[in-house]
């Protein structure tokens, strides 16, 4: 009796392994994490230039949105609503540069107190996904 049950059980086990491998191969990659390294802010005329490097910590390539946030003494935080975009391959780094215009001319050259841009991966939806 056990011999008759052994063959179907082996077939079911093989089918489950094949299904698990197929699922793992076709599921979407998780959104990779990114980090801004070596960031700097400096005045260039009337604008503040934010430069740095985005490091992709994930195992797949991704587009990153960099929010070039910085703090100017006497004016407060700026650049929080702006964005720069950069494509970074897996486990690589790419440089970015963003120029923030629109600071009052009388404040041009004021000390930049802190430069803290952030990066987050941009999720691209396929056709029909993410639409209501």
CATH number of the structural domain spanning residue 44: 2.60.40.3230
102 vs 126: which has the higher pLDDT: 102
- Whether residue 14 lies inside any domain: the answer is no
- Whether residue 5 lies inside any domain: the answer is no
Closest CA to 98 of 73, 119, 113, 122: 119
Average pLDDT over residues 36-52: 90
Token reading at 49: 């230039």
- Whether residue 16 lies inside any domain: the answer is no
- Whether residue 20 lies inside any domain: the answer is no
- Whether residue 118 lies inside any domain: the answer is yes
To the nearest whole number, what is the mean pLDDT of the chain? Answer: 81
- Whether residue 53 lies inside any domain: the answer is yes
- Whether residue 24 lies inside any domain: the answer is no
With vertex at residue 100, the alpha carbon angle to CA 98 and CA 104, rounded to the nearest 5 degrees, is 165
**Predicted TM-score (pTM) of this structure:** 0.67
For the cut 70, the answer to whether the pLDDT of residue 55 exceeds it is: yes
- Whether residue 9 lies inside any domain: the answer is no
- Number of structural domains the chain divides into: 1
CA 2 and chain centroid, separation: 55
Range of the domain at 50: 34-122
């Amino acid at each position: 009796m056990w011999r008759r049950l052994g063959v179907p059980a082996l077939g079911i086990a093989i089918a489950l392994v094949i299904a698990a491998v197929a699922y793992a191969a076709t599921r979407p990659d998780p959104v990779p994490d990114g980090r801004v390294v070596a960031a700097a802010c400096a005045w260039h005329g009337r604008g503040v230039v934010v430069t740095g490097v985005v490091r992709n910590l994930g195992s797949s390539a991704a587009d990153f949105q960099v929010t070039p946030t910085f703090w100017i003494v006497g004016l407060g935080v700026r650049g929080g609503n702006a964005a720069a975009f950069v494509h970074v391959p897996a486990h690589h780094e790419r440089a970015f540069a963003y120029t923030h215009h629109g600071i009052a001319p009388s404040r041009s050259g004021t000390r930049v107190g802190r430069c803290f841009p952030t990066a987050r991966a941009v999720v691209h939806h396929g056709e029909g996904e993410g639409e209501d």
